[in-house]
Amino acid sequence: MLSRKILLSAVVAAFAMAPSIASAATNLLANGDFSGGFSGFTTDYNQVSGPDSMVPEGNITIATNPVDVHHFWVDLPSATGPMLIANGAGNSSLTIWQEDAINVVSGGSYNFSAGVMNVCCNLSFGGANSPSSIIFQISTDGSTWTDLTSYTTIPADAGVMNTIGTAYIAGATGTVSLRAINDIDAASGNDFALDNLSFASAVPEPGTWAMLFLGFGAIGLMMRRRQSRGMAVI
């Protein structure tokens, strides 16, 4: 029979693991909602801020309303949170956003999701309006990249945040990098925003489940013992 000390240890472990079950979907990205400004990621674009700072191609900023940083972009007066806004560069090889050193576990299942918005343009703009083709990629070594998911913006859909996502299964324990690039290098139009980026574990790790089941099994055994003792007294 298991000793009382072992049973109590298993019970304590079960309760200790319970919070990790609840937080299984915690976002592993440091600043996926861009509430931290330019922190937590790197970019090949030029970081700028202020009114009309986004007129040159290849600039990015963190702002709430696109028209505040470019007079031709959509006006979103009801927007409440910051987002990464970009004027598509003439070089499609430039990285818009990249985060490194994201911890993964071999065999672990992860969900990636992101919001992509076309921000060009308002009614005062009369030029050509190219879409953007945003590709999210993953790398295990920082040099070889694999496409995760992509979205091509619709110019007529300016101001609408479209959510995309996909699943990823880690092949080995270690770290991965995520990045976003734009496959279109047109100068006119080709303006977009990214927001609510998330990379989260889809399920708790196997070791977490094992400890939780062991703990609940110990709880059940202790309850059965108490019931047996109660019947013996009667």
* CATH number of the domain within which 163 lies: 2.60.120.260
Same domain for 153 and 79: yes
Residue 1 pLDDT more than 60? no
Same domain for 72 and 135: yes
Same domain for 193 and 123: yes
Domain region containing 148: 28-203
User: What is the pLDDT, as a whole number, of residue 152?
Assistant: 98
Same domain for 13 and 128: no
Same domain for 111 and 10: no
Same domain for 191 and 163: yes
pLDDT, tens digit (0-9, with 9 covering 90-100), for 26-51: 999 999 999 999 999 999 999 999 99
Same domain for 227 and 154: no
For the chain, what is the domain count?
A: 2
Same domain for 171 and 136: yes
SS3 content of the chain, % helix, strand, coil (to 5): 25, 35, 45
pLDDT, tens digit (0-9, with 9 covering 90-100), for 104-142: 999 999 999 999 999 999 999 999 999 999 999 999 999
User: What is the pLDDT, as a whole number, of residue 25?
Assistant: 81
How far, in Å, are 34, 117, 139 from residue 179 at the CA level?
15, 17, 9
pLDDT, tens digit (0-9, with 9 covering 90-100), for 140-171: 999 999 999 999 999 999 999 999 999 999 99
User: What is the pLDDT, as a whole number, of residue 10?
Assistant: 46
- State the pLDDT confidence band at 219, using cuts at 50, 70 and 90: low
Query: Which contacts of 142-148 are long-range, i.e. CB under 8 A and separated by 24 or more positions?
Result: 142/100, 142/177, 145/179, 148/112, 148/178
pTM > 0.85:
no
Same domain for 112 and 33: yes
